[in-house]
A = this chain, B = another copy of it.
Amino acid sequence: MQKIINDPDLVVEEMVEGFVKAHSDLISPTDNERVLKYKHAPVKGKVGIVTGGGSGHKPAFSGYLGKNMVDAVAVGEIFSSPPAMMFYDAIKAADGGKGVAVLYGNYAGDNMNVKMAIEMLEDDGIEVKTVVANDDVPSAPKSEIEKRRGVAGEILMWKVGGAKAAMGASLDEVIAAAQKSIDNTRSIGVGLSPCTLPQVGHPNFEIEPGKMEMGIGHHGEPGTEVVDLAPASIIAEKMTQMVLDDLPFETGDDVVVLVSGLGATPYLEQYIYFNEVEKILSAKGLNIHKSYVGDYFTSLDMQGVTLTLLKLDDELKNCIDYECNSIALKQFSP
């Protein structure tokens, strides 16, 4: 296992330690060592934005802590939902008196732990509402859309929720905008190699050289098919089509495109892939309002990319364009 680590069982602890030191200009630790917050959180009179999930997805989740973005994050073990107590503490750390929006991804563990955290909060007098991201198209058929996993579309959900909250919206308005954002978001991933959990020391599954796995999940959950590795143009064609058909996206739509590497895919390849996606979208007459290309939501050292499309209306556009200053996503007002 070619990894720069110390004790494999302590990777999350040490990563969090390094992360807090590296970004002390933007984030602070809290009494719960696994809960990190935006330095100025809780922001008085602003709806708090909370998320969280298993580790191994850097810069998600804590890389999105910051101004007009996420206020507090619960940091789980590698690929494992944070315990209820962490979500509880994160919600408390984010509460500025106007309620807290917990915007997270649809995984069994996260669902249970957030649910329990909210129960634990019953006596604290904090109003909490949730949006559960389910943007990963291949993870379940449209007829069971509520079973779909949340993937990189979560970033746009946080961006929208964070901007809306910063604009002074109420908890219900923030929740409605974040929900609208995820309802208009569709994602799909492709894997070209497995990933290795540091504590396990070897990959948990195989993708043979010369093959790729379409629809792979953020933790290596198996996709819809394993096929021969194809040129970027064919990969992009397949993935873009699945995403376009599902919402569906239509000619004239304004969209955000987010291409994220899965951890071990060089930017070179990500831009070549994006180039192909852009050609397809342009040919279909979609307007790309904003593009993101980079390692935004990863799966340890997996090779591959995810594609995320968000269909915009005016409200979502304002939120996407809104200034923000988090670690992994910084935007000046256009």
Contact = CB atoms under 8 A, between A and B. Distances in A.
Interface of A: 2-7, 11, 14-19, 21-23, 25, 55-56, 58-59, 63, 190, 192-193, 198, 207, 209, 212, 229, 231-233, 235, 263-276, 278, 288, 290-295, 298, 300-301, 303-305, 325, 330-332, 334
A22 B260 CA distance: 13
B273 A18 contact: yes
B266 A229 contact: no
A266 B18 contact: no
B23 A291 contact: yes
User: For the complex formed by this chain, how many copies does it contain in all?
Assistant: 2
Contact of A15 (B2, B55, B235, B268): B268
Contacts of A15: 268, 271-272, 275
Contacts of A2: 192-193, 207, 209, 212, 229, 303
Contact of A58 (B231, B268, B330): B268
7 nearest A-B pairs in the assembled complex, by CB-CB distance: A18-B275, A58-B267, A18-B271, A264-B264, A330-B330, A2-B192, A22-B291
A190 B264 CA distance: 17
12 contacts: A2-B192, A4-B270, A5-B232, A5-B269, A6-B232, A6-B233, A14-B232, A14-B271, A16-B271, A18-B272, A263-B266, A266-B298
Contacts of A235: 4
Contacts of A266: 56, 58, 263-264, 298, 300-301
A5 B231 contact: yes
Contacts of A4: 190, 192, 232, 235, 265, 269-270, 272-273, 304-305
A166 to B, nearest CB: 14
A275 B23 CA distance: 12
A273 to B, nearest CB: 5
Contacts of A275: 14-15, 17-18, 21
B303 A268 contact: no
A208 to B, nearest CB: 10
A298 to B, nearest CB: 6
Contacts of A295: 267, 295
Contacts of A271: 14-16, 18-19, 22, 58
A268 B22 contact: no
Contact of A6 (B55, B58, B231, B298): B231
Nearest to A55: B268
A270 B235 CA distance: 30
A301 B267 contact: no
Contacts of A55: 268
A25 B334 contact: yes
Contacts of A272: 4-6, 11, 14-15, 18
Most interface-central of A5, A22, A193, A265 (chain B CB within 10 A) = A22
A235 B278 CA distance: 41
A25 B229 CA distance: 33
A2 B278 CA distance: 22
